[in-house]
Chains A and B, each alone.
Chain A
Amino acid sequence: MAAISMREAFGKALLQYGEENQNIVVLDADTSSSTLTKIFAQRFPERFYNIGIAEPCMVDVAVGLALGGLIPFANAFSALLSLRAIEAIRSNICYARTNVKLVAHYAGLSDYKDGPTHHSISDIAIFRSLPGMTLIVPSDATQTAAFVPLMAKKDGPITMRISRGASIPVHKEGEALEIGKAIARRKGRDVGLIACGSMVGRCMAAAEILAKEGIEAAVLEIHTIKPIDEDSIYRVAAETGAIVTAEEHSILGGLGGAVAEVLAEKCPTPMVRIGISDTFARTALDTDSLMDAYGLSIDRIASVAIGVLKKKEKR
């Protein structure tokens, strides 16, 4: 059976958690048929607010609902949340520390068919620069669903950035999951692959390829980009001495940037960042081929890992 999409998993989880917590209210900006918040809307129309094509307004309405004691989940395409609505997010969610949960949909290249206006490859950099923001990038559908109640139960500003489609599954139902705590997906001593989102599954696949060549790659999943689990990064860097980061995001300011910031000060380590080089992508027929075309393929992860390994050996 094909893995379900992150958005479908999210939509169902939101409904399920909304059944038990009456304080959950949901907002969308005319994208509920895309984000699948319509699953919640159909069951709880009185707790669903469609604010139309007005993302900053949607954010502010969510802020008001939070001030009034509710737990709003505000949904929109990540490109719009992170760009058009970002001032409202900065001023009224982060600075005013209101208990709003943002869900940034269609992240990365996952809206392959709509092209660069709808791709969202700067959002991690933007969200993680905001003081007080917690930023979560789940790796698959199961983990996306598992984060919904965790987000609701943790007070304060949180953004969850999810893809439109499915990714290679990595998270098991019921597996331990904690905001801010990275997951060691695979042990290895030769090179450390640090990834978020859809690239976690790809890194696991790349580690298999590397294993066949006698290279033992560790895979560390950083689902919480902020606050980042620094200790887990130091650990994998110390154990392997060579790091590759991988994300479905611009090479600038995302996971790779965050990991580099952590390592540069305390534990400088040879490293290479995999991401979309500083460019706009293109329209494509599916996400996987688009990701491959922009340097995010499994084979490339493996070859970059071998390259960084050589750097380590030269030291």
Chain B
Amino acid sequence: MQGLAKEESEELNEIARELRCTSLRMIHRRQAGHPGGSLSAAEIMTVLYFKVMRIDPENPNWDERDRFLLSKGHASAMFYATLAKRGFFPEEELQKWGELDCHLQGHPDRLKTTGVDMNSGILGHGVPIGVGLCLAARHKRKDYRVFTLLGDGECQAGLVWEGANAAAKYALTNLVAIIDHNGVQLDGFVEEVMPIEPLAEKWRSFGWDVLEVDGHDVDQLYQAFLQCIEAQKKPTVIIARTIKGKGVSFMENKAYWHGVAPSTEELARALHELGEEF
């Protein structure tokens, strides 16, 4: 298996850094959004959209494209920043996020925003919808893959496991779930709100291949995605260990920053830490 060249890793890390800054600026501008879970997903989104997925921003509805389902729909700032950077729509449009006449909704809407494959917002739907998309690919003899990004708190939802069951029944090797395992949810630490460990064992016992990586290491993420391509019998879940609020010291590991927008002063400090000026 071929890893990333050093320059490639550096390039991806730079994109992730930019996406963090863009997401925070977006959340600050409209004084709403979810910084913690957006920052934790920066490398995952970067590696998917800039290295792994078979997509064509010029032809967003291309039938053969890989599909992406943002099951943790509240990371929409990071998602929109990624789509814009990748060229699905002009980056200027990010500034209008949440305005009444803007296509960018609080949570993703496939009918309004180019590049969004499916609506989300209520947690738990990515895996079961992914099952249906993978079954459609099988029926139509297409080889696209379906990636879905979940939160770890989301794994408290029973629907996730209904979907996990179904994916295993149909041996969907083209389905890849990624869990942004940052350990923090709206109300506090996942292990205090409602424990989900042992997470890897749970997925394994549901009939999935499980890979565990450092979710802020673009090389490890890339290697894991390569490994999924070689999956022969089972769906794969990548448990990406991440830090909620990653990259901004005062946001890291704090449930407070799940769904609160930074003030102007806080944004300036955050950007400074990320190497940009306000």
Contacts and interface: CB of A to CB of B under 8 A. Distances in A.
A109 interface: no
Contacts of A56: 124, 128, 159, 162
B119 A96 contact: yes
Contacts of B119: 91-92, 95-96
Interface in A178-192: none
Given A60-B125, A96-B118, A67 B136 contact: yes
A64 B130 contact: yes
Contacts of B63: 69
Contact of A68 (B122, B124, B139): B139
Nearest to A60: B128
In this complex, the member of A49, A67, A72 whose beta carbon has the largest number of chain B beta carbons within 10 angstroms is A67
A91 B131 contact: no
Contacts of B165: 52, 54, 57
Interface string B155-193: 000010011011000100000000000000000000000
Given A68-B140, A97-B111, A57 B163 contact: yes
A96 B131 contact: no
Nearest to B117: A67
B30 interface: no
Interface in A38-75: 46-47, 49, 51-52, 54, 56-57, 60-70, 72
Contacts of A64: 128-136
B111 A96 contact: yes
B110 interface: yes
A258 B51 CA distance: 53
B137 interface: yes
B130 A57 contact: no
B121 interface: yes
A87 B158 CA distance: 13
Contacts of A54: 162, 165-166
A25 B139 CA distance: 10
Interface string A72-99: 1000000000000001100110011100
Interface in A1-55: 25, 46-47, 49, 51-52, 54
Interface in A81-135: 87-88, 91-92, 95-97
- Bin chain B's interface residue count: 20 to 34
Nearest to A51: B166
B235 to A, nearest CB: 13
A69 B125 contact: no
A66 B132 contact: yes
Q: Which among B63, B125, B130 has the highest number of chain A CB atoms within 10 Å? A: B125
A70 B117 CA distance: 16
Nearest to A65: B132
Contacts of B118: 63, 67, 92, 96
Contacts of B133: 64-65, 67-68
A295 B121 CA distance: 43
Contacts of A95: 109, 119
A61 B135 contact: yes
A185 B122 CA distance: 44
Contact of B128 (A25, A46, A57, A87): A57
A49 B139 CA distance: 12
Nearest to A85: B159
A46 B139 CA distance: 8
Among B117, B133, B134, B136: residue with most chain A CB under 10 A: B136
Interface string A159-200: 000000000000000000000000000000000000000000
B163 A65 contact: no
A227 B90 CA distance: 38
A52 to B, nearest CB: 7
B121 A91 contact: yes
Interface in A256-303: none
Nearest to B139: A70
9 contacts: A57-B162, A61-B131, A61-B166, A66-B132, A69-B63, A69-B140, A95-B109, A95-B119, A96-B109
Given A65-B135, A70-B136, 8 more contacts: A25-B135, A25-B139, A49-B170, A56-B128, A60-B125, A60-B159, A63-B129, A97-B111
